[in-house]
Amino acid sequence: MTSHRVMAVSAAALATSISTACAGPCSLEIDKMQARIDAKLESNAAAGLGARESTNALLHRQPTPGSIAAAEERLGELSDQKVAAVAQAMERARAADGRGDNRACEQALADAQRAIGP
């Protein structure tokens, strides 16, 4: 079991060193934004936001994906659309960084920030 952990840590360290060696002009900002996104998702999960049960729930009806998304939006959590917008913006930022296009990378990061909010 210990050898598996050592191998996993070694693989992670190798991957990090490779990505650092191939880092583009915007890599540090991408890492910072990813940390902000992760923190936002964790705070939403940790908050454990809740609401009263709807009439449909009290009648033992199963929720639909649409009703769950609507409830999450009312609670202020990240909607599927916002999560998709953030993911797309981060993909654009990484692609721009790989091309060395700092301006496009910064624009994509600004789009991601707007999507996740304050």
* Overall pTM > 0.95: no
Cα–Cα separations (whole angstroms), residue 76 to 36, 66, 80, 91, 105: 17, 15, 12, 24, 28
The better pLDDT of the pair 71, 34 is held by 34
What is residue 42's predicted lDDT score, i.e. its pLDDT?
Answer: 80
What is residue 6's predicted lDDT score, i.e. its pLDDT?
Answer: 41
Q: Over pLDDT 90: what percentage of the chain?
A: 31
- Is residue 115 within 8 A of residue 85, CB to CB? The reply is yes
Instruction: Name which of 30, 35, 39 is nearest 110 in CA terms.
Output: 30
**Sorting pLDDT into bands at 50, 70 and 90, what band is 66?**
confident
Torsion of CA 97, 23, 29, 36, to 10 degrees: 100
Instruction: Name which of 26, 27, 7, 29 is nearest 18 in CA terms.
Output: 27
pLDDT in tens, 9-42: 444 444 544 554 456 889 999 999 999 988 887 8
Cα–Cα separations (whole angstroms), residue 12 to 6, 16, 26: 10, 6, 21
**Sorting pLDDT into bands at 50, 70 and 90, what band is 78?**
low
